[in-house]
Structure 1
Amino acid sequence: MTWAGPSNTWIINWVVTMADIKSPIPGDTNATGNATVFTFQEQLTASVSLYTMSLICIVIGGIRSANFVQRMIRKKRPIENSIRMSEAKKFPLSASAVLFGLYIFFKPAAERLNWVVTAAQKLHVPENYIEKINATITNFMTPAEGVAHETLFQRLLKRLPSNINEFLQTYLEKLPAIGKDELMIILTFLICFEGISALAILLKPALTFLLNRLPFVPECLRFNRPYLLSIKKGLKEMDEGDMEEASTKDTEYVFKLDCDRHILIALLLCSPVLISHLTCRHWITNNIIGIAFSIVGIECLHLASFKAGTLLLAGLFIYDIFWVFATDVMTSVAKGINAPILLQFPQDIYRNGFLEANKYSMLGLGDIVIPGIFIALLRRFDYRVGEQGSEAKKANKGRRYFFAITIIAYAVGLLLTMYVMHYFKAAQPALLYLVPCCLLVPLTVAALTGELSALWNYDEGHLVQDDDKKNVDSAKKNN
């Protein structure tokens, strides 16, 4: 199932942006206020389970990524939504903006405004400005007696003409109130639906195999009829009804959903997981959605070159350390979001069983997907997927070890993260340990084997859709 136009990759990018949140592994607080102490066996079981799930995602996602790029090459289609050098430079900044926006969104009004005052004091803002901020906070939190607190929207309505104001007030009173909780429900549903779509993509090959071989399946289900739902826009003026017969150079897709009958059946079969998670929020359905999300995310998020991957990892290395150690932003966002953006495994599973356990160790999907797309690039480098001619033939005759070696490096980095987390009994930014392992190990191996130049200069940019060239071509056609 593929999309064009408003792409579903924005949700994957959003999850990668703010999913790098962890919960302290050592324990939790019980109803009496005492810290719950978990045994070594309980902590080891939770850690090994998260460790295994993350490695499964990395391995399967890396293999599927190479197959995906090879399939695009065979079909002579450009790869969309690729991360090139320009995107890699912006990603840590855009990720920080999204994360901080969520932080402001989840903070209560009083804490949010007091945080502004504290930040102003740290930045040595003049005292008279801080006094004005304090006065604003006081007026906002304690309105005059007998005067109802007005929102910014209500103040804007007052400035409109009276007839328009009355009309809008009457109309808005009939609409249901949409607040933070309602927005979180909508966002959680979108994330869960995209996760179920990823699960359907993974299950589709097995479903197709069964439908084609089971004797009692009707012919209408064996036939995998394709469907295309689309919205087009014209690139020049034309009469109504002419769009259907217009040439491709005169039209452009605004929205395109390309699917088939088997993927729709797979979605239907996966819908109980969606309904169950939205109603129960159980850790098992959370992990099913999270694993599917991670594998398809690693497959679809394409790094265009080794240099772009290095820049992306370096930027997110700093991003992760800053937001976890220097601020409480990650922690605050983690407390406010209840969506499948991390993998969970209960530490109290031996005490309460699979269904009732609720004290979790956690690993953010960002700690899987970000290193995963870099390791997938090394899988493609092993096979020189992006190269043609003698270089590709030479690579195909040689050894392929960068993918396997970097997976081992990732495993060591994740093991180190968990050790430090247990030792200090506090959440850790996993990219602090994963990025050096995933970057330095393949570079060292390449230097020892004489492949450093080939690895550093490996580039799949020619396989990527060039948006600037596309815009120029469209402009030429219009002229």
Structure 2
Amino acid sequence: MSSETLTAGGQSDDTTDIVNETLNLVNETFKATPQGQAVAYSSLVLMAVVPIMFGSYRSVKYLEEQQVSGEKPETITKKDAMKFPIIASGMLLSIYAFFKVFSQQYIDIAIGVYFFVLGVFAMAHIAGPFFKQLIPEAFPNCPYHLHLTEGDGESRCDLMDWSFDRKDLVTIAICAVIAGWYGLQKHWIANNLIGLAFAMNGVELLQLNSIATGCILLGGLFFYDVFWVFGTNVMITVAKNFNAPIKVVFPQDFIEQGIFGKHFAMLGLGDIVIPGIFIALLLRFDTSLKRNEKTYFYSGFVAYFLGLVATIVVMVVFKHPQPALLYLVPACLGVPLAVAYLKGDWETMFKYTDEKNWETGTEDKSEKKKE
């Protein structure tokens, strides 16, 4: 299920009952001040652009690491992109039916356990290097290696091959405390820490293999978002029952209540990750051009920022639900493609693939080793 939404307003004290699928303004019991809205929306925009910025650079590093190791990158292909809106629609309907059949209490328990595990490892992947630098050299570190296989002989395959050390265990313990904090208190700060980790991991690891694939994926999700928001009540029903850290939030009453604010503006992770993986691809394309400039990355990044601001403005002015990708997709696709056309890079852009870049990088490193 794609989670594209920016929500504002005083829903209730239980803010986690609303998942981010739509730009939505429901404000019958709470009137946010202009200052409160400005603080909340500015914070949401910041929490959107930061994971895209850092996740994009991490995606370049991730591709380089794969070149060094010789591991071929797994990317989203054109066929995957074409199927994605259909698969997402099927998942959405399945979750909708699931909520109709099973008790909300049991659903919350299952979702809580699932996202606790995902949240711990997502945060550890992002925060691990930072925590390791903080741990003193005198710390009694020791490496470990878990290797779990299935079968025997030629049919044997790896189920787990994980190398780690005690510093990694410290990181995991800290992240487990944060995930546990969210599970017990549902505090918005814990929610944001997990959500930002999910977003940054998504931008880094979900790699599109070409610009054409990105156009197909974003175009398909554009129509998916518009249809399920305006055409049915399925997405809203699922949104009201899916209790998980798949959004970033900020209280609109932060000025009055501080970190104890209870009336939140929300931005769905889909609004960050879906455009973000395309912007990360633009950065990898810029890197492949070897021009010492990041024209297409910055054009896509600025377009995303302006598209997100436009979405917020339309929502606040018209006070009506809006699919976020309705604005983000045209901006993130239109501006970089227009720049490529004007600079004469249109053909080069559409010929670029991560696979070719990976093969070239691998060959270059092999030649250097021989020398």
The interval holding the TM-score normalised by the smaller chain is 0.7 to 0.9
What is the distance in 2 between the residues matched to 1:405 and 1:399? 12
What is the distance in 1 between the residues matched to 2:187 and 2:241? 17
Counterpart of 1:95, as a letter, is: A
The aligned counterpart of 1:191 is 115
Indicate whether 1:232 and 2:144 are aligned: no
The aligned counterpart of 1:426 is 320
Give the alignment's TM-score, normalised by structure 2: 0.87
What is the distance in 2 between the residues matched to 1:252 and 1:53? 44
Give runs of aligned pairs for residues 290-329 of structure 1, distance below 5 A. Answer: 290-329=195-234
Q: CA deviation at 1:274?
A: 1.2
What is the distance in 1 between the residues matched to 2:182 and 2:293? 44
The aligned counterpart of 2:105 is 181
The aligned counterpart of 2:244 is 339
Q: CA deviation at 1:255?
A: 1.6
Give runs of aligned pairs for residues 346-385 of structure 1, distance below 5 A. Answer: 346-355=251-260, 357-384=261-288
The aligned counterpart of 1:282 is 187
The aligned counterpart of 1:63 is 57
Aligned pair partner of 2:98 in 98, 105, 108: 105
Deviations 1:247-289 (A, max 9, x none): xxx1342522423013222101211101111110011100000
Counterpart of 1:361, as a letter, is: A
Q: CA deviation at 1:290?
A: 0.1
Q: CA deviation at 1:229?
A: 2.9
- 2:71 match: secondary structure: coil
Relative to structure 1, the CA distance from residue 187 to residue 463 in structure 2 (aligned partners, 3 Å threshold; closer, same or farther) is farther
The aligned counterpart of 1:48 is 42
8 Å Cα contact 1:78/1:463 also seen in 2: no
What is the distance in 2 between the residues matched to 1:454 and 1:402? 12
8 Å Cα contact 1:196/1:267 also seen in 2: yes
The aligned counterpart of 2:366 is none
Q: CA deviation at 1:199?
A: 0.9
Q: CA deviation at 1:428?
A: 1.8
Relative to structure 1, the CA distance from residue 298 to residue 216 in structure 2 (aligned partners, 3 Å threshold; closer, same or farther) is same
What is the distance in 2 between the residues matched to 1:270 and 1:263? 11
Deviations 1:137-185 (A, max 9, x none): xxxxxxxxxxxxxxxxxxxxxxxxxxxxxxxxxxxxxxxxx84422331
Larger Rg: 1
Indicate whether 1:216 and 2:210 are aligned: no
Q: CA deviation at 1:96?
A: 0.5
The aligned counterpart of 2:337 is 443
* Structure 2 unaligned blocks of 5 or more: 14-26, 360-371
- 2:352 match: secondary structure: coil
Counterpart of 2:134, as a letter, is: L
Counterpart of 1:409, as a letter, is: A
Counterpart of 1:83, as a letter, is: I
Give the alignment's TM-score, normalised by structure 1: 0.68
What is the distance in 1 between the residues matched to 2:192 and 2:117? 14
Q: CA deviation at 1:191?
A: 1.6
- 1:77 match: secondary structure: coil
Q: CA deviation at 1:18?
A: 3.3
What is the distance in 2 between the residues matched to 1:421 and 1:184? 30
Counterpart of 2:91, as a letter, is: V
8 Å Cα contact 1:378/1:402 also seen in 2: yes
Relative to structure 1, the CA distance from residue 215 to residue 300 in structure 2 (aligned partners, 3 Å threshold; closer, same or farther) is closer
What is the distance in 1 between the residues matched to 2:240 and 2:291? 51
The aligned counterpart of 1:125 is none
Counterpart of 1:330, as a letter, is: M
8 Å Cα contact 1:201/1:263 also seen in 2: no
* Structure 1 unaligned blocks of 5 or more: 1-16, 110-177, 234-242, 385-394, 466-479
- 1:429 match: secondary structure: coil
After superposing on structure 2, the runs of 4+ consecutive aligned residues of structure 1 that deviate more than 3 Å are 26-30, 461-465
Aligned pair partner of 2:311 in 408, 414, 417: 417
